[in-house]
């Protein structure tokens, strides 16, 4: 397996584990080789087909589950691999070699957004009922927070859950929900005590097929074509007892914990996509000729590429440093916010420069750099906008008063 992975693409960021010794160990290299082989064998050959189709088959989750890749950070006692954040980063980096941005994002929603909430706040019965299928890819997960009138302002959601005999009734809508059309199980945020604001939000596990729940439509997007983005409706949706996830009225704070991991995963994903754009540019400037020589020999391009590589490396190190703080059990809210802000902006700027260096070809669908450029733009919005991240960073630095440090 290692040899096949090496032959598939050893040119990509060679020797990461050696270059960043404090973070990576030999087991990370073995994992990287495994993921690389899975990507080359099962995902990359279908990239163009799934991009044009606007989605990928749910069987992809089963394939990843067969290789044990859906629960890398899930404790072994719950059926996962019990690995660290750097194992997850290796998975994210290699998954983004598949030739699509949407597919890795859909997988990350499952592994790094919905699943951690279920693991941390779920009851033993909920673990027994849902984790085996989630870890094997037999059930696809999603998380539903955003609403048409509440994005970064999570406390402003209007979906409500009313207590009735035997359970709860949900009413409301959600939008921009990745995996919204294919998810079998969703973590849904709703207000159980509307007058209490953020202190009146709870989380519920909603299964596909529950009466009153449906996907209204999927949205057309600029990028991330291979990932479905759904608009959801809850119309008198009855959710039985036992589907409350975590503590009643503590859903806001549960999600603030979840968002830290989500943002770190997005930051790692952005760097991986930026690296992909840089690699494609290096190949292009070596083979594209102008004025009798490869354009990569022109100093103007060489210096720009050097700046792109340096900026991307700085962003990568910021992501790794934030992950290290998390692994050490240290508070890392500010560091994660900084990592996402810098990584997503830097990666998009690198992709924009990469497209520019491709000239007119970069603006055609013939070269994949345009896809990276389109896909990357979302990561400056999803999981926390640039503007919101700056707000929280400044608050963490003591520049703004905060009544609650756990706010988005």
How do residues 140-175 score in pLDDT, each as one tens digit? 999 999 998 877 788 889 999 999 999 999 999 999
pTM over 0.75: yes
Residues 83 and 115 in one domain: yes
Residues 268 and 179 in one domain: no
Reply yes or no on whether 76 is catalytic: no
Of the three residues 233, 250, 267, the one that is the final residue of a domain is 250
Specify the residue for token string 């299928």: 133
Do the Cβ atoms of 120 and 132 come closer than 8 Å?
no
- The residues pairing with 163 across neighbouring beta strands, listed in sequence order, are 168
Q: What's 110's DSSP letter?
A: I
How far, in Å, are 84, 112, 118, 207 from residue 123 at the CA level? 23, 19, 8, 16
* Cα separation, 114 vs 189, whole angstroms: 12
Of the three residues 194, 227, 250, the one that is the final residue of a domain is 250
Q: Mean of the pLDDT values across residues 351-379?
A: 96
Question: Angle CA(137)–CA(265)–CA(272) in degrees, nearest 5?
Answer: 100
Residue partners of 3: CB distance under 8 A and separation at least 6: none
- Does 405 score more than 90 pLDDT? no
121: CATH: 1.10.540.10
Of the three residues 139, 166, 195, the one that is the final residue of a domain is 139
Closest CA to 136 of 215, 64, 194, 226: 64
Examine residue 198 and state whether it is found in any structural domain, yes or no.
yes
Closest CA to 94 of 76, 69, 65: 69
What pLDDT is recorded for position 13? Answer: 47
Q: Between helices 333-357 and 369-377, what is the axis angle to 10°? A: 150
Closest CA to 91 of 7, 154, 30: 30
Domain range for 193 is: 142-250
Q: What's 250's DSSP letter?
A: B
Residues 34 and 151 in one domain: no
Interval 73-82: pLDDT, tens: 999 999 999 9
Interval 99-135: pLDDT, tens: 999 999 999 999 999 999 999 999 999 999 999 999 9
Give the tokens for residue 229: 């983005």
* Cα separation, 368 vs 280, whole angstroms: 8
Do the Cβ atoms of 336 and 260 come closer than 8 Å?
yes
Closest CA to 275 of 239, 312, 302: 312
Which is the catalytic residue, given 88, 94, 231, 262? 262
State how many domains the chain has: 3
Q: Mean of the pLDDT values across residues 271-278?
A: 97
What pLDDT is recorded for position 212? Answer: 97
Find the length of the chain. Answer: 408
């Amino acid at each position: 397996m290692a040899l096949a992975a090496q032959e598939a693409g050893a040119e990509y960021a060679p020797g990461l584990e050696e270059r960043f010794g404090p973070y990576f160990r030999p087991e990370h290299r073995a994992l990287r080789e495994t993921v690389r082989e899975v990507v080359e064998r099962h995902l990359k050959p279908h990239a163009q087909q799934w991009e044009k189709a606007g989605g990928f088959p749910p069987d992809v989750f089963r394939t990843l589950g067969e290789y044990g890749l859906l629960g890398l950070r899930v404790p072994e006692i719950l059926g996962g691999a019990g690995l660290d954040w750097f194992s997850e980063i290796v998975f994210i980096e290699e998954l983004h070699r598949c030739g699509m941005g949407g597919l890795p994002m859909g997988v990350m929603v499952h592994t790094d957004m919905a699943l951690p909430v279920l693991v941390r706040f779920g009851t033993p019965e909920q673990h027994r009922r849902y984790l085996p299928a989630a870890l094997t890819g037999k059930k696809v997960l999603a998380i539903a927070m955003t609403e048409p009138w509440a994005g970064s302002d999570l406390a402003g959601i209007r979906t409500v859950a009313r207590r009735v005999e035997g359970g709860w009734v949900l009413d409301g809508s959600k939008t921009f929900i990745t995996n919204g059309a294919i998810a079998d199980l969703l973590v849904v945020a709703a207000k159980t005590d509307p007058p209490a604001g953020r202190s009146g939000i709870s989380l519920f596990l909603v299964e596909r097929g529950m009466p009153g729940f449906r996907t209204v439509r999927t949205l057309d997007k600029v990028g991330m074509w291979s990932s479905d983005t759904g608009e959801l409706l809850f119309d008198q949706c009855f959710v039985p007892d036992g589907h409350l996830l975590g503590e009643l009225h503590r859903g806001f704070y549960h999600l603030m914990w979840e968002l830290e991991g989500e943002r770190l995963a997005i930051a790692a994903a952005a760097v991986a996509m930026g690296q992909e754009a840089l690699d494609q540019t290096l190949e292009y400037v070596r083979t594209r000729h102008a004025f009798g020589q490869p354009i990569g020999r022109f100093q103007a391009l060489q210096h720009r590429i050097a700046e792109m590589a340096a900026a991307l490396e700085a962003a990568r190190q910021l992501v790794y440093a934030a992950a290290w703080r998390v692994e050490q059990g240290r508070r890392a809210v500010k560091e994660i916010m900084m990592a996402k802000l810098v990584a997503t902006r830097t990666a998009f700027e690198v992709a924009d420069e990469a497209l520019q260096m491709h000239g007119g070809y970069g603006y055609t669908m013939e070269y994949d750099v345009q896809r990276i450029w389109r896909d990357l733009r979302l990561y400056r919005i999803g999981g926390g906008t640039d503007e919101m991240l700056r707000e929280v960073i400044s608050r963490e630095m003591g520049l703004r008063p905060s009544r609650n440090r756990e706010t988005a």
